[in-house]
Structure 1
């Protein structure tokens, strides 16, 4: 019998981390911590660097440095420090995945763990929704808030769709299609408009990159789906483009308040400390909704970090998009595992950004954790291809 080594324990906790992202933040964090400790220990034992250099390094350094500055000047520095640490501890996910996933076999196992468990959770979500009242009042919550559920289903669904449109064997594409369909319905049942828009943006990118002529079929398909949808869903869809919808008006009040806050503290922001509460004096008198954040990633970063921090974050996002695009273009379509992984990661990041125009999804640890995992997957795919020569 082969002896179980520390590398096997590491592999187990890495796969557990990927699987748990679908249903348990506590188990995800425990598995991630243990995987990180084991990986660093294994690398020290073998006298090699645990984390690779990436094109994103200096952007991460600049961002985290500005987070420290904004925290020091924050009127609520202890709470700001807590939120900063939570965000900063997610960044190593990128390097853990990029450095430890070194073979196609490891990549395949990680994807199976990630997408397989999400598919099972999606099936549970479908049953749960149909046993409930349905509609907007009965919107689906998996094992978390409905907006978190929407973000997780959006990212995983786009990863699955990338394999549907890849040059993978037919069996793989059919399995991916089944997973994508099973994730699509609970995504709809969350009634989370920003996740719908992110999914549509990522799906559109996948089609344009792989089979651009299919875009002419996507438009009538969306219209047909709208026509067949129940009235509650149609009303929710129409509200996306209705500037006078109460929810949309409240969003604009939040964004306007955020802009006024940035004008008041443009250099180092307020830190991540009760931003929703601090925004109240800057809101329009007509505003009714009270929330903990401002429902937009870029406005939130501008408020938290100031304009210099916003520029660094924009630079980081653009650099990630460019790096993932370069990786995708460097991979041959025939190498379906790597190319589909890179395509899905880029589509997921695009979806995350569109989602983040209407939601503070960067502040949602579960969604942000999964987003960083996809960035690591793209880097890992590029490194596997480079190692093969």
Structure 2
């Protein structure tokens, strides 16, 4: 079988991660964490398992329904259970940053299908975008907010470049109509003095030192938090309570080694390159999925500069699904054309 080009760096990532687990400072912890590598089977399952457009459409309808359910539940819990302004909404996953990351990815899919698809269901996707956007705001997940802005810029750029003017107006409107606590959360993006930002600065310094100490295979999957308890890395008591370095690049290199980081970056690069090539196909459905996948890729990478989101199994699963769908549809269309000639 011919898989998408990005699948091969993923295999290298898996192989190197298992070596890292074998050489880990705590093999038991690392091999337990390595079970999440099975999530990468989503790529061949979607690519080979979706043999008809009907199957793909049904899967996306299921995603649409789950997106509505997740978003509405976030809104419900915030207003009827949380009921306190400064608390952040969670949802089914129970973790605000994971919930924010999922909603960000879903917003990419919803906005892209609404703008590019020619089918009537696109209006349901458009409404889903607004509901999910509101839910995302309630999670107060700044990394996902920033990522969604980049996603929206990319999607509108491919749609109609002139529509980019909407984004600054939307951001200004969002700020001025937001309640006080949302305004404060928004402004904190531009400050390094909040108690959640200070540890991130510490993690950068500690992460670099850990990479120097464990350059080839890292400390082992899911063991960085064990290693950075050592006073030599200079983390404050608050920073030592966390379980990762709040950054995909730093965390991957620190716990799995520089070669694994190179494999991960190759995966990101080849995914972008392969999706960009698919843009030549102007089929409305394929174009919508391709732009959505590009948005998801940019979103995951941008949010991952502030959060180790590639470790969240829920986010990884949705992300892998989104980036594989365009190639599955392209494969289906290619086979359909072959059968008619």
Q: Which residue number corresponds to residue 249 of structure 2?
A: 298
Where does structure 1 lack aligned partners over 5 or more consecutive residues? 1-50
Deviations for 1:250-286, whole angstroms, at most 9, x for unmatched residues? 1110121111000111111111143123113244355
Is 2:135 aligned against 1:186? yes
Q: Which residue number corresponds to residue 55 of structure 1?
A: 5
Deviations for 1:220-251, whole angstroms, at most 9, x for unmatched residues? 11111111101100111111111222221211
Summarize the Cα distance change of 1:64–1:138 in structure 2 as closer, same or farther, 3 Å threshold: closer
Q: Is the 8 A contact 1:74 1:273 kept in 2?
A: no
Deviations for 1:3-29, whole angstroms, at most 9, x for unmatched residues? xxxxxxxxxxxxxxxxxxxxxxxxxxx
Is 2:76 aligned against 1:127? yes
Matched pairs, number = 334
Summarize the Cα distance change of 1:312–1:161 in structure 2 as closer, same or farther, 3 Å threshold: same
Summarize the Cα distance change of 1:135–1:142 in structure 2 as closer, same or farther, 3 Å threshold: farther
Give the CA deviation at 1:58: 2.7
Runs of 4+ in 1 over 6 A off after TM superposition: none
Give the CA deviation at 1:323: 1.2
Output aligned runs, 1:147-226, within 5 Å. Answer: 147-169=97-119, 171-226=120-175
Is 2:213 aligned against 1:256? no
Q: Which residue number corresponds to residue 18 of structure 1?
A: none
Is 2:319 aligned against 1:371? yes
Give me the whole-angstrom Cα distance separating, in 2, the residues matched to 1:57 and 1:94. Answer: 7
Is 2:260 aligned against 1:312? no
Summarize the Cα distance change of 1:115–1:134 in structure 2 as closer, same or farther, 3 Å threshold: farther
Summarize the Cα distance change of 1:273–1:172 in structure 2 as closer, same or farther, 3 Å threshold: closer
Give me the whole-angstrom Cα distance separating, in 2, the residues matched to 1:260 and 1:183. Answer: 39
Q: Is the 8 A contact 2:252 2:261 kept in 1?
A: yes
Q: Is the 8 A contact 1:259 1:299 kept in 2?
A: yes
TM-score relative to the length of structure 2: 0.93
Give me the whole-angstrom Cα distance separating, in 2, the residues matched to 1:360 and 1:80. Answer: 17
* Greater relative contact order, per chain length (Cα 8 Å cut-off, separation 6+): 2
State the Cα RMSD in Å.
Answer: 1.7
Output aligned runs, 1:331-342, within 5 Å. Answer: 331-332=281-282, 335-342=283-290
Give me the whole-angstrom Cα distance separating, in 1, the residues matched to 2:233 and 2:87. Answer: 28
